[in-house]
Amino acid sequence: MSVKTRNNWNSSIIKMKKLLLVDPDHEVDELLNEVVTADGWHIDRAPDNETALLFVRASPYDLVVTGQKTSGREDIELLRKIRHIRSHVRMIILSDTSTPEDIIASLREHAFSFFRAPFDRVLLADMVHQALSEPCWDDGLEVISATPQWIRLMARCTLVTADRLVQFLREADIPEPEKQDLVVAAHEILLNAMEHGGKFNPDHYVEIDYLRTRRAVACRVKDPGEGFSFEELQHAAVGRSPEEILDLVKVREDRGLRPGGFGILLTQKLVDELIYDRRGNDVILIKYLRPLESTAV
């Protein structure tokens, strides 16, 4: 074997990503096997959390995906133990059962993502791909304070951080269809904040509050930018006539912006209240929940 060939072979080994899949059911195993092997990543399987810990002690892994047969609490405990051995291993938690406290704990322990059954195959596959494809990290989501009713955190201004945060929101205790409306709206506003306020600079952070009451859910998003006024907002669809919206694509292309511009307009349709502060870099989304059904006999 030539030196050049040997170096290329060694390089391919070094770059190979490794995933540890814990006690998967057939559907999850099949899905992740397709995602991982398609990109040349290696996958190992452990029958339970205890064995998974032995695997991690013996060999470094880029990502651990837990089995759904264990609870969220059990998997968070596994994550804590893994952190003592391999501090930068990413974990995606799959669980049949979880509580709001489990979601908060997984955020505090820097889980990469959290999925409660039934899983969306496309979202899960995409999150696994992001976890294995993104460069070395130091998380990007930092919990400042948290209770099931009020969570405050900081989110790094990157697309993958936005996707991760929205997945945690999908697991929140919110009834449908209000949850889906809020998820889409929050994603749009979060991307606007990260793009225009944070310039997608990973050194910049967006401040986020999530509040859950018996009758409403509110999300507050504050970006580090200078803000804006609606009168000067030439790159967005809000306030434009149907004819003017056709010019929006060219305006955004000329400014080097990602395709879009409909975030605020879409959000206004999905939530009940959208409130900006005077500067325009601090916004609150409010979604009212359906009245609770009476339990009186």
Number of alpha carbons in the 13 Å side-chain half-sphere of residue 22: 28
Among the CATH numbers 3.40.50.300, 3.40.50.800, 1.10.357.10, 3.30.565.10, which is that of 140-297? 3.30.565.10
The pTM score is 0.82
Cβ proximity of 218 and 211 under 8 Å = yes
Question: Quick one: tokens of 231?
Answer: 């009168």
pLDDT at 253 over 80: no
Burial of 46 (0-12, 13-18, 19+ CB in 10 A): buried
SS3 104: helix
Q: Which of 25-29, 205-209, 242-246, 264-268 has the lowest mean pLDDT?
A: 242-246
pLDDT at 9 over 60: no
* Section 11-39 average pLDDT: 79
Q: Which of 226, 174, 172 is nearest to 198 (CA)?
A: 226
What ranges do the domains of the chain cover? Answer: 1-136, 140-297
Mean pLDDT of the chain: 84
Sign of CA dihedral 160, 166, 168, 171: negative
SS3 123: helix
CA distance 254 to 103: 41
pLDDT band at 36; cut points 50, 70, 90: confident
Class of domain 1-136: alpha beta
How far CA 121 is from CA of 127, 143, 178, 189, 295, in Å, comes to: 10, 28, 22, 25, 36
CA distance 19 to 1: 30
pLDDT band at 50; cut points 50, 70, 90: very high
Question: Quick one: tokens of 250?
Answer: 């060219």
pLDDT at 199 over 60: yes
